[in-house]
Amino acid sequence: MFSKILSPVICSMVFVLLMSSSCGSTLDYTIETTLNPYKISPLTARMVIEAERSCSATIEVLGESPIKQSFKANSTNLEIPVVGLYPNAINNVVVTLKYDGGKIVDTVKIKTGNTPAHFPEISINKLSRNEMEPGLHACDIHFANNGKFNSGPMIFDDQGKVRWYLDLSFAGKMVSPFQRLKDGTILMVSRHVIYEFDMLGKPLKETKISANYGMHHDVLELPNGNLLICIGKKGAFINLDGKNVVSDSDFIMLFDRKKSKIVKEWDLAKHLDVSLNELNFFRPGDFLHMNGLAYDKDDHSIIVSGKNLGLMKISWNDKLQWIMSPIKSWGKAGRDGKGFDTKPYLLTAVDSVGKTFPTDIQIGKKSSAQFDYPWGQHAPNFMPNGNLLLFDNGVFRNFENNVHYSRAVEYNINEKEKTVKQIWQYGKERGLEFFSTIVSDVDYLQKSDNVLITSGFIKNGTHLSAKIVEVDYNTSKEVFEATLNLKSENGNKTSGWGQTDILYRSERIKLQF
């Protein structure tokens, strides 16, 4: 017979379940369950299983979107992580213990509290699971906090239920971007701290970097596990009209994770015309506003997304390869504007048969149905065919503020000929309902040959939302769409920093430890 004892249900307290077995079974065991063991991941738990014989465990959180995990460890004392609990529910978690000679199957009940009131309302607008990439929906989301941001990355399921989140309010500032590295580590950065956690919220490592560096916008894991990070540096200036102006967001650093140190830097200002300011609406020194990185493993180079200047490719040995931007007004590179001429590095826009577009398209004054530059873009990344995929926000398209659409767009770049060709796009046809002036993301999904697109800041009057859409690359048919209705409860709902919620990025990942 089994005896089960569950402690009183109090939010954020420890729940204990003891089980023993006789009644024809040959395994005696106990299970102790601790909800939210590290106090920042409320929809997770840790199970400690003690048994008289060595056994292995499989667990499954039951529900409309069940989460099942098997663990290889075979022992009389197992520590099993549980992820994917439903909020505000008594979760049924099936535990299967296999041992030499048989197995035991039992159910543990774990009660959880509700998600915070400021979380978005999530609506599933389209769901064709058999046509979708496997996994659930991970959001790099940040909540208004009266002029700052509280970061709370979350994962929701196909029914729009939040099944995992981290409460990172202890950092007191924005911590981003949320990502899982190849070894399963969750990694994010604030301005001066690199944070590493496991899926239970257990702190694995916290690395402080020099106060002379400020991390922002993007962190990219390289194949060897090191990190490329967008940074600004104290004491960096550019010369504008004879005056030294503080610059920001214009360096990249290479960070060695094992040795916890900076091993290389790239100064982007020495490759670019810092005087270009037609799309700089923040401050004079923010000529680039770097917001994304991609790594080209084929030639060991770096693609840089600069919100205010377009995209550029920098070699590992710090040489400019090309610039993709309207060719209007480009001059000499360098912090003092006395470097090399940037014009020979500008890509020429061509159509599907390689014919050069007219000058008004090359300079960005007009767009063509076959080609448009990205405007205020985010999230560059490579597709398997070597083409560049990115989210084109469409901010001040054609240097005007009267054409409003955002899109995912694919470009083919011929480095030898210095040309760029538009191959594919999605989103233009949706107009304002998909238009995001800031943030946002796009990813190619290899298993399904789909594209996951995040429009992270959609304004309709005073209403603010975000959309996550998965489309078939070959047909542009939507196979998944979710709308996140953002509440901005702790902000004044203006577009000021930290006054509205934002969905920076989203990923399709498997919810597992």
pLDDT in tens, 409-448: 999 999 999 999 999 999 999 999 999 999 999 999 999 9
pLDDT for position 19: 41
Quote the DSSP letter at residue 86.
Answer: P
Structure token pair of residue 149: 């941001």
Name 274's Cβ contacts closer than 8 Å, sequence gap at least 6: 238, 239, 240, 247, 287, 288, 333, 334, 335, 337
Say if residues 321 and 314 touch (Cβ distance below 8 Å).
yes
Q: Is the pTM of this model over 0.85?
A: yes
Quote the DSSP letter at residue 363.
Answer: T
pLDDT for position 25: 58
Residue given tokens 């990205």 in the structure block:
374
Name 279's Cβ contacts closer than 8 Å, sequence gap at least 6: 307, 308, 309, 375, 376, 395, 396, 399
pLDDT for position 18: 40
| Span 455-475, pLDDT tens digits | 999 999 999 999 999 999 999
- What average pLDDT does this structure show over 329-344? 97
Measured in degrees and rounded to the nearest 5, phi and psi for residue 255 equal: -115, 125
Question: Distance between CA 158 and CA 65 in Å, rounded?
Answer: 7
Name 253's Cβ contacts closer than 8 Å, sequence gap at least 6: 213, 228, 229, 231, 262, 264, 265, 266
Structure token pair of residue 209: 């970097």
Measured in degrees and rounded to the nearest 5, phi and psi for residue 434 equal: -125, 15
Given this chain, do its domains 15-111 and 121-509 carry the same CATH topology? no
Name 317's Cβ contacts closer than 8 Å, sequence gap at least 6: none
Using CB atoms within 10 Å of the CB of residue 58, give its burial: 0 to 12 exposed, 13 to 18 middle, 19+ buried.
middle
Can you name the residues that pair with 30 across neighbouring β-strands? 50
Cα 219–Cα 304–Cα 191 angle in degrees, nearest 5? 35
Question: Distance between CA 275 and CA 287 in Å, rounded?
Answer: 7
* CATH no., domain 15-111: 2.60.40.1940
On the question of pLDDT at 8 being above 60, the answer is no
pLDDT for position 282: 86
Question: Distance between CA 312 and CA 181 in Å, rounded?
Answer: 25
The CATH architecture one would assign to domain 121-509 is: 6 Propeller (2.120)
Question: Distance between CA 419 and CA 354 in Å, rounded?
Answer: 9
- What average pLDDT does this structure show over 330-354? 98
Tell me the one-letter amino acid at 226. Answer: N
Residue 486: Cβ within 10 Å count: 25
Reference 52, options 23, 27, 78, 25; nearest CA is 27
Strand ranges in 334-387 using DSSP code E only, listed in sequence order: 348-350, 378-382
Mean pLDDT of the chain: 94
Measured in degrees and rounded to the nearest 5, phi and psi for residue 457 equal: -155, 80
Can you name the residues that pair with 44 across neighbouring β-strands? 83
Reference 205, options 222, 178, 187; nearest CA is 187
On the question of pLDDT at 17 being above 80, the answer is no
| Residue ranges per structural domain of the chain | 15-111, 121-509
Question: Distance between CA 197 and CA 184 in Å, rounded?
Answer: 9
